[in-house]
Amino acid sequence: MKGKWLDETFRAFAFFSTLIGILVLCLLLADVLKDGLPRLSWKFITSFPSRRAEEAGILPALVGSAMLLVLTALFAFPVGVAAGIYLEEYAPDNPFTRFIELNIANLAGVPSIIYGLLGLEIFVRAMRGITGGRSILSGALTMALLVLPVIIVSSREAIRAVPKSIREAGYALGATKWQVVRDQVLPVAMPGILTGTILALSRAIGESAPLITIGALTFIAFLPPLSLKALQSPFTVLPIQIFNWVSRPQEAFQANAAAAIIVLLLLLLSMNAAAIYLRNRFQQRLE
């Protein structure tokens, strides 16, 4: 009887804790929508920043966020998936491998500012001749380091969830280990891998501390050139643009920040929706 009472009490506590979190989130969203929706327009999205709040827009920050997202995915996804395959399928079970696995798990919880300091020292200073210093390439490499442990862990979990019978069936037909991994294991694990990757990129696109550390600008009145030189050009992203506007005392800039937050939320929701769509699509193919 006492155990049942404790169970009901804990369930009620968990329910009300969740309810409080949802209510606070709804209040924050309502406040942002109230301030930002009147300012949100096509002109706001396609305009450059300005010292006049009513003329300011988010085009360079939006383009910078999109470029940063694409480059981060190009750097982090292949390396993360390859590392997950090696650790789960090929790496021997010994103290050195377990040490690597422990460090990868720990890196997933390291504060993002630490990755910013690492990126400042390696990509901005030591590799200045390649990255161009405080450039979008340095930002993408830094964010790739940030999301890489999460992609590795999610890839390993997705690969580990594949039934052993699928591997054994491939070996029984005479396939090599790589053929089994490529043609049998990866297609089954891909929904989980893609979901973990997109959620990791969703975290990256909302980060500002590492990018501020490596020197992302708060005011850019131009777009990067349509060439490889764009990788070495200065950049800004939506979180930094929002931070710049929020730090100003004028109410008009506060409205701009709220409108930019709405755009960033829509971008994050689109990425999460893409993760759900890709997961369902791959599952339907497997069925």
Encode pLDDT of 202-232 as tens digits: 888 888 888 888 877 777 777 777 777 778 8
User: Residue 235 and residue 201: Cα distance in Å, rounded?
Assistant: 18
Cα 261 to Cα 17: distance, rounded to the nearest angstrom:
26
Model confidence pLDDT, tens digit, residues 19-54: 998 999 899 888 888 888 888 888 888 888 888 888
Q: What is the pTM of this model?
A: 0.85
Dihedral Cα 183, 186, 191, 197, nearest 10 deg? -140
Q: Match 């690597």 to its residue by tokens.
A: 100
For the chain, give the percent of residues with pLDDT over 90. 8
Tokens 């920043």 -> residue: 49
Helix then strand then coil, in percent of the chain rounded to 5, is 80, 0, 20
